Amino acid sequence: MSDNNEKQRKTLDERDQMSELERIRHSTAHVLATAIAKLWPDAQFAYGPPLLEGVHGFYYDVDLEHRISPDDFEQIEAEMKKVVKENQTFEKMVVSRDEALELAKKGRLAALGDREVESVFKIDLLNEIPEDEEISIYKNGDFWDLCAGPHVPRTGNCKAFKVMSVASAFYKGDADNPQLQRVYGTAFKNKTQLNEHLEQVEEAKQRDHRKIGKDLDLFHIDEAVGQGLILWKPKGAVVRQELQDFIGEHLDRQGYSQVFTPHIGKLDLYRTSGHFPYYSDSQFPPLAERETMKILADEGCTCGELSNKLESGEVAGFLLKPMNCPHHIKIFQSNHHSYRDLPVRLAEFGTVYRWEQSGELGGMTRVRGFTQDDAHIFCTEEQVKEEIMGCLELVKIVLGTLGMDDYRVRVGLRDKDSTKYVGDSEKWDKAEQALREAASTLGTEFAEEPGEAAFYGPKIDFVVKDVIGREWQLGTVQVDYNLPERFGLEYIGSDNAPHRPVMIHRAPFGSMERFVGVLIEHFAGKFPTWLSPEQVRILPISEKFLETADTVYQELRNAGVRVTVDKADEKVGAKIRLAQLDRVPYMLLIGAKEQESNQVSVRHRDRGDEGAVGVDEFRDKLVAEIRSRNL
Q: Name the residues annotated as catalytic.
A: 325, 354, 372, 374, 376, 459, 505
Residue 229 identity (one-letter amino acid): L
- Contacting residues for 185 by C-beta, under 8 A, at least 6 apart: 28, 29, 32, 56, 57, 58, 59, 161, 162, 163, 164
- Contacting residues for 6 by C-beta, under 8 A, at least 6 apart: 172, 173
- Contacting residues for 557 by C-beta, under 8 A, at least 6 apart: 563
Collapsed DSSP state (helix, strand, coil) of residue 465: strand
Cα distances from 6 to residues 147, 165, 476, 538, in angstroms, run 17, 17, 25, 51
Q: Let me know if 319 is exposed, middle or buried by CB neighbors in 10 A (0-12, 13-18, 19+).
A: buried
Classify strands 471-480 and 407-413 as parallel, antiparallel or unpaired.
unpaired
**Which residue in 60, 1, 8 sits closest to 30, CA to CA?**
60
Question: Is 461:338 a contact under the CB 8 Å cutoff?
Answer: no
Question: Is 356:368 a contact under the CB 8 Å cutoff?
Answer: yes
Quickly list DSSP for 100-153.
HHHHHHTT-TTBSS--SS--HHHHHHHHHS-TTS-EEEEEETTEEEE------S
Question: Is 324:374 a contact under the CB 8 Å cutoff?
Answer: yes
Distance of alpha carbon 545 from its chain centroid, rounded?
A: 48
Question: Is 151:27 a contact under the CB 8 Å cutoff?
Answer: yes
